[in-house]
């Protein structure tokens, strides 16, 4: 018995040390525009069954859907759980976790990733969507789809890819507690710069373009998952200045959606109705800035969400966040006010 006890104790100590080192060495983005560590953990720290609507996808989602504006317009609680260039197989597992934890009335998927046809994303993109995703069967399955076998270990354990950070560590790394992280923007990225000299492609001359077999499979898997879980799915392409050939991929996504009874909306077709301006409302050619996202979110709330009833009234934290957002929208920001923690 003593040998067994010692073995178990040794194992527990080893696991504790391993987990601690993994947490300390991990790359952390908990402040600034791209505070994805905070945004992802904030979602997974949320109480169950809190959100009525979940917005998913790549950076096109987190720069377009502002849950504070949407809540103000509709009374609905929502969150944007998205990461940079997130591939559809990763989005599938984000949606799966979101449904299991939140049982939302609606999932909204921005389909930009359908136009990215590589079999795997690059390492930096993979780290962005795997690092802060909670450990479990969904993470293991997501990693299996996201990289060849010789790269999967680095996606599962952080210390192997961040071991060179020893010289860069600060007190923040040692005091870091992901369970305390809170994003007052509910996953939205508020970009305040404005792009110049943008030209919108107004041509309707396009050819429907199939994506990769892998993309088409995982888009269909997302549709199947939402149907199995009895959660409504809406697939969209948020506004952008599209490149030549880009729309063909989105039209193929539309074909798949409509064949499976899923609503698809291409919001470039509503550019004028939304009130967007190329001179004021874009961060770059592919992403809305804070002014454009405010306009788009209000339009989306009024035209797409009228049939959904809130699970509960919005809480004080939401209204405090909304008040802060309005101050910052009007240029009255206070960097010392920000705290990424729940407390």
pLDDT at position 261, please?
A: 98
Could you tell me where the beta strands, DSSP code E, fall in 213-318? 232-237, 263-266, 282-284, 287-288
> What mean pLDDT is predicted for residues 268-275?
95
Phi, psi of 328 (to 5 degrees): -70, -35
Residues constituting the chain = 343
The angle, 0 to 180 degrees and rounded to 10, between the axes of the packed helices 88-102 and 36-45 is 30
Cβ(80)–Cβ(53) under 8 Å?
A: no
Residue 114 lies in a domain: yes
Q: How would DSSP label each residue in 104-163?
A: -SEEEEE-GGGG---SS--HHHHHHHHTTSPSSHHHHHHHHHHS-GGGHHHHH-SHHHHG
Cβ(283)–Cβ(289) under 8 Å?
A: yes
Range of the domain at 237: 35-121+184-329
When mean pLDDT is compared across 105-109, 113-117, 339-343, the lowest value belongs to: 339-343
Residue 151 lies in a domain: no
Other Cβ atoms within 10 Å of 191 Cβ, number: 22
> What is the reported pTM?
0.88
Residue 192 lies in a domain: yes
Look at 204 and 187; give whichever has higher pLDDT. Answer: 187
CB neighbours of 339 closer than 8 A, spacing ≥ 6? Answer: 182
- CATH label of the domain that carries residue 216: 3.40.50.1110
Phi, psi of 201 (to 5 degrees): -75, 110
Other Cβ atoms within 10 Å of 215 Cβ, number: 25
When mean pLDDT is compared across 194-208, 222-236, 245-259, the lowest value belongs to: 194-208
Look at 187 and 131; give whichever has higher pLDDT. Answer: 187
Cβ(79)–Cβ(51) under 8 Å?
A: yes
pLDDT at position 343, please?
A: 37
Residue 167 lies in a domain: no
120/215 Cα distance (integer angstroms): 10
Taking only the tens place, the pLDDT of each residue in 140-174 is 999 999 999 988 888 787 655 554 555 566 666 56
> What mean pLDDT is predicted for residues 131-135?
91
Q: From the CA atom positions of the chain, what is the Rg in Å?
A: 21
pLDDT at position 125, please?
A: 93
Residue 85 lies in a domain: yes
> What mean pLDDT is predicted for residues 112-124?
94
Cβ(218)–Cβ(302) under 8 Å?
A: no
Confidence of residue 200 (pLDDT cuts 50, 70, 90): confident
DSSP state of 282: E
pLDDT at position 14, please?
A: 45
Cβ(120)–Cβ(146) under 8 Å?
A: yes
- Mean pLDDT for all residues in the chain: 87
Residue 82 lies in a domain: yes
pLDDT exceeds 50 at position 338: no
| CA distances from residue 86 to 43, 91, 128, 214, 218 in whole angstroms, order as listed | 16, 7, 8, 14, 12
When mean pLDDT is compared across 70-79, 259-268, 305-314, the lowest value belongs to: 305-314
162/216 Cα distance (integer angstroms): 33
pLDDT at position 179, please?
A: 81
Residue from 29, 41, 331 nearest 183 by CA: 41
Residue 309 lies in a domain: yes
Taking only the tens place, the pLDDT of each residue in 20-63 is 555 555 565 656 666 888 999 999 999 999 999 999 999 999 99
pLDDT at position 138, please?
A: 97
When mean pLDDT is compared across 15-24, 136-145, 187-196, 204-213, the lowest value belongs to: 15-24
| CA distances from residue 31 to 37, 124, 182, 327 in whole angstroms, order as listed | 9, 19, 11, 18
Residue 259 lies in a domain: yes
DSSP state of 267: G
> What mean pLDDT is predicted for residues 184-189?
96
pLDDT at position 342, please?
A: 41
pLDDT at position 158, please?
A: 63
Percent with pLDDT over 70 in the chain: 80
Tally of domains in the chain: 1
Partners of 263 in beta bridges: 234
CB neighbours of 304 closer than 8 A, spacing ≥ 6? Answer: 108, 234, 265
pLDDT at position 340, please?
A: 47
In the block, tokens 């004028």 appear at: 272
Instruction: Please give the span between the terminal C-alpha atoms of the chain, in angstroms, as a whole number.
Output: 44
Cβ(83)–Cβ(129) under 8 Å?
A: yes
Cβ(237)–Cβ(268) under 8 Å?
A: yes
């Amino acid at each position: 018995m003593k040998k067994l006890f010692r073995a178990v104790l040794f194992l527990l100590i080893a696991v504790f040390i391993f987990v601690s080192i993994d947490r300390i060495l991990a790359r952390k983005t908990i402040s600034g525009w791209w505070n994805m560590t905070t945004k992802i953990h904030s979602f997974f720290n949320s109480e169950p069954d809190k959100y009525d609507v979940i917005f998913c996808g790549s950076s096109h989602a987190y720069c377009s859907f502002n849950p504070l504006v949407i809540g103000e317009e509709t009374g609905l609680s929502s969150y944007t759980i998205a990461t940079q260039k997130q591939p559809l197989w990763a989005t599938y597992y984000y949606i799966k976790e979101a449904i299991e934890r939140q049982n939302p009335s609606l999932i909204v998927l921005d389909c930009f990733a359908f136009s990215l046809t590589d079999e795997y994303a690059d390492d930096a993109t993979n780290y962005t969507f795997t690092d802060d995703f909670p450990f479990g069967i969904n993470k293991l399955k997501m990693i299996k789809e996201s990289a060849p076998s010789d790269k999967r270990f680095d996606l599962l354990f952080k210390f192997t890819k961040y071991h060179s950070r020893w010289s860069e560590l600060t007190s923040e790394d040692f005091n870091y507690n992901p369970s305390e992280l809170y994003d007052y923007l509910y996953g939205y990225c508020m970009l305040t710069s404005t792009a110049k000299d943008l030209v919108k492609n107004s041509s309707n001359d396009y050819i429907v373009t199939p994506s990769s077999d892998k993309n088409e499979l995982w888009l269909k898997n997302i549709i199947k998952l939402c149907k199995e879980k009895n959660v409504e799915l809406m697939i969209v392409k948020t506004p952008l200045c599209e490149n030549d050939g880009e729309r063909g991929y989105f039209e193929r996504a539309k074909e798949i959606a409509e064949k499976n009874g899923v609503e698809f909306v291409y919001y470039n077709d509503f550019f004028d109705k939304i009130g967007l301006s190329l001179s004021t409302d874009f961060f770059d050619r592919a992403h809305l800035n804070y002014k454009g996202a405010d306009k788009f979110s209000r339009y989306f709330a009024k035209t797409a969400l009228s049939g959904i009833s809130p699970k509960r009234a919005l809480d004080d934290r939401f209204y405090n966040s909304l008040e802060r957002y309005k101050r910052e929208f009007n240029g009255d920001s206070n960097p010392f006010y920000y705290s990424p923690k729940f407390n």
